[in-house]
Structure 1
Amino acid sequence: MNYAKSSRSMRSMLLAGAVIVAPVPAFAQVATPADPVAPAADQSTEQDGEIVVTGTSAARRARDTPLSVSTLDAAQLQRTAASSQADILNTVPSIKAEGGGGEVAVNVFIKGLPLGGTYQLTPLQYDGIPVLSSFGLNSSAYDVYYRNDLGIERLEFVRGGVSNLFGSGSVAGLINYISKTGHDTTQGDAQIEWAERGRVRGDVAMSGPLSKDAGLYYAVSGYYRYDDGPIRTGLPTKGGQIRGNIRKDLSDGSGSVTLFGQYINDRVQFYLPSPLDGTTRKRVPGNDGRDVNSLLTDAVSGLGFNRPGGRFQTQIADGVYTNGGQVALAFTKDLGEGWGLNGKAKYSQYAHRFGFFLDGDGLANVPQTQAGFLALRGLPSNATFTYADDNSAVPGNAILFANRFQDRIRPNHDVSAEINLTKEATTGDFRHNFTLGYYFANAWARDNTITTAYLGAFNNQPRLINLTVRDAAGNPTIISNGGLLDAGVGYTNNTAKQSHYAVYLADQIEADRLVFDFGGRLEWSDGHIARAATSTTITDATTPNLSTALRNVVWENGTVVRGKVSAMSWALSAGVLYKLTPSLNVYANANRGFFFPALNSVSINAAGLTQSYQPEIIRQAEVGLKYGAGRITASLSGFYNDLKNRRTVLLVNGTGGSVVEQVTIVSTKAYGLEGVLGVRLLDHLRFDGNVSLVHDEFTALDITPQFIGNKEPRQPNVLYNAGLYYDDGAIDASMATTYTGPNYTDNSNAIRLDGFNTVRLVAGYKLPLGSGRQAVRLGVDVYNLFDSQGISEGSPRQVAQTVGTYFVGRPILPRRVSVKLSLSF
């Protein structure tokens, strides 16, 4: 595929869309005032004053919306975020977010829906604009492209009801961060953070008028940080982002136009599961007697090998590398007599690589003695092990760990646009807000993966090891050269392009005590897939005594298999809310929705014929109560969902140490309860908490039908958050815990992971510097206060994981103390 030509065509489509819709959404202009006590998710910061608009036709209070809504304001976001989206999303009911991998690629699980992780069913948006319009072109998570900073006004997470109809749509839920925009007064925030183990981060955000007379306003924010990591690996995390918006309010007060922009250049390290004690599941000591916290190592950064057309050199040291950005245009316009028009369009392009250390070699996957390593591979026992950096002998009792890493090269570009025609009308006692909309998106991405195997010692930041063996005649064979074990464990080079076209119609109906939501969506999707064929090539015929794995390389051979798929599906949603009293509302909603299968789950034969491409149908229902009066806010809801013929894609160990994408077709059902409670105990002290009880099970499995009826892996039955928050304007302090209940590592339910609590302590002192918001705050933040040793997952690459001397799992991140100095002006 011609990348440059495709990029130019995307830009042309964006410009055309901008002309058609003529340019930011009304929702981005309504700021929710922050409560002095940072509330937990789903707690109204103003009782009757909170406005939520995501997934609705017109702005309204969260309590008056017949669906589940969770909101966090800027203060809560700032105090909750520690290292990743997981810190924030874990406070939302029914979400389990795994952040053990570091800052990005968070695995998000929700309401018992079958996921392989990341954001497959919960699109990530900023200002109602999707970060990426299609998931499954590759497996990179949305959060590698876009990050949070001090320029975020609030988070809205809307699920169920009609939230699946508008814009990009999603029946599982929409994660939407709303940016700060400028107003008549210039204001800003700056923050510097120092944390143990080598972390420094600086943030700044400013907003204000460019010209009051012209109705022109700006907001800009960004960050830069350097971090040796919560777990030291010798591979630093470093980089930053800048983003902002310029808004033009129309002179007649009928609307606005906003231009958004973002640029990111960032490198983040990602932590994989590692061997733990098979009985206690705690970290085990390495050869030096110290506990092994991570097997990432900068020693592999020099590895490379010959390939057809030149030499391949790994860029694994960059970790998750993202360089690029997004530009978006949005508008809202009141046309008069109840008519309105709004829309948005965006174009993004990113150079992206995901440097990925795996959790074993695909053969043993655990530490081995030198004799065990040789025996597993059928190698002669006459062997010489030396360290690659100085050629010194490896002690005979040293434990080895063979591992792999992947250079995943994943550039992408994406264009999306939507336009909505709205109409307000009154019939008798009912007020209607009609929305007729159209959505278009086109995304392209490459997924070029090179897998390399290496041999190292079992230590933190392991040294690489050379290995030469000799047969009975004394003839040598080099098995590991400079630590390199296999130059061609696996290779893929795929590209995918997907287009979406949708029309939707909805009506939001309100009376004094009744609220109705109705709507439907019709969507088409086209996909184009290209996959390079591979063959084995001898690329080093001159170096003597090399093993076959070092001499031969699997690489693309110039043949490309192409396939096309298309599908159409529809969604219907309905919701009703009744105001029993001024303080108590009862609501219910139900919907029939769909997901289009990820393109990386579609098989293609040599003739270019694809397997069937049918939408995955999901049905959901929810009923609940919402209460708010005096010092108490609360909600209680029950939900049910069932999902048919979901194609899940897992990266699992293949033959000979390769990594393959395993596609499993599953059906599931789940039901449960969500409860949320907020109590203002004293004028400056508040309790906030939520609990989720979920039962889920497989109702169909194509590969392993014997596991039908089992629980889905990595999905706990119990989740809860509870915290006390104090803020008197000068002193603030909070202590909150997040509990993740027991869950299983894989579909067999053979290995159960224990539940764990993660406690967060935040405290600070604010000193006013003058009138208004001018103040300085010095705060301390302790993540994982009691240094809990919970395991967030087993080894996803082992389809049926077993436990022996070792258990391969990913512990949650350890305790980390940070100090933050903040300035508001």
Structure 2
Amino acid sequence: MGKTALLLFTAQIALVTPAYAEEGAAPEAGPKAAAETPAQPPKEIFSTGVAKGRDRLDSATSTSALRGDEIQKFGPRSLGDVLRAMAGLRVESGIGEGNNNFTVRGLPLAAGGSKYMQFQEDGLPVLEFGDLFNVGTDVYMRNDFNIAQIETIRGGSASTFASNSPGGLINIISRTGDVEGGSVQLSSGIDYDEKRVDFDYGGKLGESTRFHIGGFYRQGEGPRRIGFDGWRGGQVKFNITRDLAGGGYVRLYLKYLDDRSPTFAPYFVNITGTNDDPEYKNFAGFDLRKDSVLSPYLGPVVTLDQNNQLAALPIDTGQHAVSKSVGIETQFDVAGWTITEKARYAANGGDFSRAFPSNAGTVSAFAAGQAGTGATASYATGPLSGQAIPGGSLINGNGLLSLYFVSYVRARSLDNFTNDIRASKVWKLSGGNLTTTLGAYFATQKLETTWLHTAMDIDVNGDAGTAMVNIANAAGVNQTLNGYYSFGRASALFRRSFDVDYRVFAPYGSINYHFGKIAIGGSLRYDIGRVRGSLIGADLGGGRDGLIDYDINGDGIISTAETRVAYLPLTQPAPVNYNYGYLNYSAGVNYRVAEPFSVFARYSLGARANADKILFTPVVNNATGDVATRDKADKVHQLEGGLKFRKGGVTFNATAFHVTADDHNVLNGSANRTDRSYKADGLEMEGAWAHGPFNLALAATYTRAKITADRLDPALTGKEPRHQPSWTFSATPQVDLGKAIVGASVVGITKSYAQDSNLLVMPGFTVVNAFVQFRPTARIRMTLNANNLFDTMGIFEVNQASVPASGVGFARSINGRTLSGSLRFDF
């Protein structure tokens, strides 16, 4: 598959959607703009992660952009699915609307989220750290009509124009009412249950004032069979802009998000064959692409809460993200200096539940594992409640039972405040222009969360039929309570409370000299951090006990399951108290060989401050709260060089890179820490070809990565990092026939290893999404969308390190085929 992508590139290269910038924002599309947009824009101006927006052919950076209207052609999709098609990014989606995994250039994905790339909305981070446990940044971001453009910068000056972004930046740029008009779209799943309405409107309120408002609301079961409305909620965003008489502008942003969506974890899959050539198949009664353990027969999440009081929390919570933000942006000139000020306060919170596996086995083996020889099983919930499950029976066609942990994270506050002010001036010198920039960044990030768990015995049943199961020993004594195995995670681990404040201050500056065909530039940033707070949990050790007996059902008797009740040792907190500081720098040169062609080279050093992934680990001194210097931040070195070509309807960009990185992390769902160094070499390519009604965009990335040092498990030194394919690629062909547009998005990866031990292979896969859009009039669009058109089982994650002897494994796949239709009115 990788060779095919490369051959396609060398045969005919296609256009990446050009990036524009006006005051750092993209010009908007709409009914009027669609007719006026020129077929060949004169320049591609990029503004994210740089001092000033400039033509991409004059900038020593590797960048990409995607227009909002192009995104919407493929229907309502999560941001993770959208970004999978962008050049250079590696995205593990399929988890749900949020909490997907993002990285770039072989930088490791040892755990979830986006450690090395920062997500921004309109130039400011959504969360200061992109890999917070259970709450990734994309949890608080949505794909809707508010998006004018998505810009990404990989490497380059990203490390010096933003904090905690050594790998790059992903910036969601909002529409700002440049074009008068709006849209309303009604969408519905055809072979699944989801109803959605999207809207937006922008225009002028006067000669110098414009506004934009947009959002969506949705409700339904969603793309997997769960038996209830797992998707419900939406968001509204508003901004108003006042153009200043002397040039510049002032803009106010408002956002309200309140949205629920399920979280999908690794589920049951039959793994056979060899480690080098495994076969992944669905078990009877459970489709990895379309089913989930979620059902109306599970729950609630019975546990002790953050105050050690009995609570019953709804299992259908999923990812319930709530965010309320207000921001201001202004730009004006003073004595030849352009001053840009951006500030935003966001109140972020919500509850986040997910269910993930511990083990599974046949009815007899599973029951014996929990209650010894002669143990029996029976249904605790569902339509067969109270009925025995005979040992050896093939219930649901697969004959399996499983222990599942349900995690319930209460994010009481992930509030943050960010402020970025910079001043730039262009000095006219003999032979060229010298651009200087000075800036200062200040941010606060609150981390106030509590981890709660419960553990359930369940059957393996798809089609929203999963039920809870009781296990009794040979004497008939229940080892469970109404299907609950324990009221924690079967141990004292992972019941945690965080109350930590992060503060970041970062002065920065840059200089760029553009003379003739050459542009030379460099930038510096110094990040200063202050971390204060406290932790509570039995994981901290020191005599902290995390299990108690508790009469959950109030019958006056302590059953076996009620001896496994996790609680928080509230009287024994541990401090967090340390400071950090590190230097980031970047320098590059760009040579405009000819009008359509340029080459560049750049070297950068950036770092990422470690956040909650080092808390509850031995690197934090539980007596003082201090952290050793080398554990406070992880450095990333990048050497890159490339070429850019743009002429007529053809563009082509290619960047070769060499990356080294450090990583302190904790593997998802386990207590396993990592302390490693990595290196990666590779090549990013993107481009496009447009001719008449035809448009083809292509992107491919080749990466070879290696663990160069594992300080906790030396046996892994020299291994290839897990989940790292050699090739990622995408192709987006479209044909515009006037009244109709037909297009597709083809995204693929080659094989990779399930774990760092480099034994079990995860097969590569290709996913095809397609659309047909019919426009009977200029203001009406009817669209049919097909996501995963060929119903591919695309596996992003496998829990096992080798083929299991039982054949029972756990894997996470992308969603199966879904069809949706929409009707859009432009006005």
TM over 0.5: yes
Structure-2 change in CA distance of 1:216 and 1:154 (3 Å) = same
Deviation at 1:304, TM superposition (A): 1.9
- Is 1:553 aligned to residue 579 of structure 2? no
Contact 1:526 1:565 survives alignment (8 Å): yes
Residue 152 of structure 1 deviates from its aligned partner by: 1.0
Task: Supply the AA of the counterpart residue of 2:705.
Answer: D
Distance 1:276 1:470 in 2: 28
Identity %: 24
Partner Cα separation in structure 2 for residue 613 and residue 379 of structure 1: 49
2:678 aligns to what? 668
- The structural deviation recorded for 1:447 is 2.6
Comparing 109-118 with 376-385, which one deviates more in the overlay?
A: 376-385
**Equivalent position SS for 2:790:** coil
> Is contact 1:193-1:818 (8 Å) kept?
yes
Deviation at 1:792, TM superposition (A): 1.3
Please name the residue that 1:201 is paired with: 196
CA contact (8 A) 2:242 2:251 kept: yes
Is 1:175 aligned to 2:170, yes or no?
yes
> How far is the alpha carbon of 1:481 from its aligned partner?
1.9
Q: 1:619 aligns with which of 631, 637, 640?
A: 637
Change (3 A) 1:137 1:95: closer
Indicate which of 367, 372, 378 corresponds to 1:374.
Answer: 367
State the Cα distance separating 1:570 from its structure 2 match.
Answer: 0.4
Once residues 687 and 291 of structure 1 are traced to their aligned partners in structure 2, the CA distance between those partners, rounded to angstroms, is: 29
Q: Indicate conservation of the 8 Å contact 2:213/2:238, yes or no.
A: yes
Q: Spell out the pairing of 1:261-280 with structure 2 (5 A cutoff).
A: 261-279=254-272, 280=279
Q: Of residues 728, 739, 754 in structure 2, which corresponds to 1:730?
A: 739
The SS at the match of 1:696 is strand
1:391/1:404 CA distance change after superposition, 3 Å: same
Give the corresponding residue for 2:317: 318
1:637 aligns with 2:655: yes
Given candidates 76, 84, 87, the residue that maps to 1:93 is: 87
For residue 143 of structure 1, report the CA deviation from its aligned partner. Answer: 1.1
Say if 2:113 and 2:130, in contact at 8 Å, map to a contact too. no
Cα distance in 1 between the residues matched to 2:245 and 2:93: 46
Deviates more, 1:84-93 or 1:739-748: 84-93
Q: In the alignment, residue 472 of structure 2 is paired with which amino acid?
A: V
Local SS of the residue matching 1:114: coil
Aligned equivalent of 2:23: 27
Distance 1:276 1:382 in 2: 25
Question: How many Å apart are 1:824 and its aligned residue?
Answer: 1.6
Partner amino acid for 2:425?
Answer: K
TM-superposed deviation, 1:144: 0.9
Look up the match of 2:220: 227
Query: What is the CA deviation profile of residues 385-442 of structure 1, one whole-angstrom value per residue up to 9, with x for unaligned ones?
Result: 2343432333441331221111111131101101111111011112122110000001
Asked if 1:404 corresponds to 2:400, the answer is no
Find 2:714's aligned residue among 673, 682, 705: 705
Query: Deviation per CA, 1:353-411, whole angstroms, max 9, x where unpaired?
Result: 111111x22xxx23x22220132235241535234343233344133122111111113
Q: Does the residue aligned with 2:420 lie in a helix, a strand or coil?
A: strand
**Contact kept in structure 1, 2:324 and 2:347, CA below 8 Å:** yes
Q: Distance in 1 between matches of 2:821 and 2:365?
A: 47
Q: Distance in 1 between matches of 2:452 and 2:288?
A: 32
Query: What SS does structure 2 have at the residue aligned with 1:327?
Result: strand
The alpha carbon displacement at 1:782 in A equals: 0.8
TM-aligned CA distance change 1:803 to 1:322, over 3 Å: farther
Relative to structure 1, the CA distance from residue 636 to residue 697 in structure 2 (aligned partners, 3 Å threshold; closer, same or farther) is: same
Partner of 2:108: 114
Q: CA deviation at 1:114?
A: 1.2
Residues 614, 664 of structure 2: 8 Å contact kept: yes
In 2, the alpha carbon distance for the partners of 1:125 and 1:395 equals: 54
Equivalent positions of 1:351-362 (< 5 A) are 351-358=349-356, 360-361=357-358
Task: Answer whether contact 2:298 2:468 (CA < 8 A) is retained.
Answer: no
CA distance in 2, matches of 1:699, 1:458: 40
Aligned equivalent of 2:603, options 556, 574, 590: 590
In structure 2, C-alpha distance between the alignment counterparts of 1:30 and 1:240, rounded to whole Å:
24
Specify every segment of 5 or more residues in structure 2 that has no aligned partner in the other structure, as ranges: 1-20, 273-278, 539-544
Check the 8 A contact 1:635/1:675 in 2, yes or no. Answer: yes
1:509 aligns with 2:508: no
Aligned to 1:651: 668
Q: Are the structure 2 counterparts of residues 309 and 132 from structure 1 closer, same or farther at C-alpha, using a change threshold of 3 Å? A: closer
CA distance in structure 2 between the aligned counterparts of 1:174 and 1:800, rounded to whole angstroms? 35
Structural RMSD (CA): 2.5
Which residue of the other structure, out of 693, 699, 706, is the alignment partner of 2:702? 693
Structure 2 partner of 1:608: 624
Q: In 2 relative to 1, CA 715–36 (structure 1 residues): closer, same or farther, beyond 3 Å?
A: farther
Q: Deviations over 1:544-564 (max 9, x none)?
A: 665433244221132211121
Q: Distance in 2 between matches of 1:609 and 1:782?
A: 52
CA 1:194–1:81 in 2, change beyond 3 Å: closer, same or farther?
closer
SS in 1 for 2:298: helix
Amino acid at match of 2:298: V
Q: Which residue of 2 aligns with 1:809?
A: 811
Contact 2:163 2:527 (8 Å CA) reproduced: no
Aligned residue number for residue 345 of structure 1: 343
CA apart distance, 1:504 = 0.5
**Alignment partner, residue 10 of structure 1:** none
Q: Does the residue aligned with 1:814 lie in a helix, a strand or coil?
A: coil
Residue in structure 2 matched with residue 485 of structure 1 by the alignment? 485
Distance 1:77 1:384, change over 3 A: closer
Q: Provide the residue aligned with 2:542 in structure 1.
A: none
> Among residues 223, 231, 235, which one is paired with 1:237 in the alignment?
231
Separation in structure 1 between the aligned mates of residue 802 and residue 577 of structure 2, nearest angstrom:
33
CA contact (8 A) 2:498 2:536 kept: yes
Cα separation, 1, equivalents of 2:248 and 2:304:
59
Change (3 A) 1:384 1:77: closer
* Maintained 8 Å contact 1:699/1:708: yes
**Structure 2 counterpart of 1:191, from 185, 193, 209:** 185
Quote the Cα distance in structure 2 between the aligned partners of 1:144 and 1:82. Answer: 16
Helix, strand or coil at the partner of 1:638: strand
Structure 1 segment 113-132 matched on structure 2, within 5 A = 113-115=107-109, 116-132=111-127
**Distance in structure 1 (CA, Å) of the matches to 2:377 and 2:78:** 44
Determine helix, strand or coil for the equivalent of 1:626: strand
Conserved 8 A contact 2:370-2:479: no
- 2:291 is aligned to 293
Q: CA deviation at 1:705?
A: 1.0
Cα distance change on mapping 1:194 and 1:430 into 2, 3 Å: same
- TM-superposed CA distance for 1:275, in Å, is 1.4
Match of 1:15 in 2: none
Provide closer, same or farther for how the CA distance between residues 503 and 595 of structure 1 changes in structure 2, counting only shifts above 3 A: same
In the alignment, is the contact (CA less than 8 A) between 1:34 and 1:74 conserved in 2?
Answer: no
Q: Distance in 2 between matches of 1:756 and 1:36?
A: 40
Residue 590 (structure 1) shift? 0.9
Write the distance in 2 (CA, Å) between the matches of 1:290 and 1:638: 37
For residue 297 of structure 2, give the secondary structure of its aligned residue in structure 1.
helix
Q: Distance in 1 between matches of 2:326 and 2:243?
A: 19
Report the equivalent of 2:53: 59
User: What's the CA shift string for 1:488-527, capped at 9, x where partnerless?
Assistant: 2242112221111100110132223112221111111111
Between the aligned partners of 1:328 and 1:197, the Cα distance in structure 2 is: 37
Code of the aligned partner of 1:697: K
The alignment partner of 1:27 has SS state of coil
Which amino acid in the other structure matches residue 419 of structure 2?
A
Q: CA deviation at 1:109?
A: 2.6
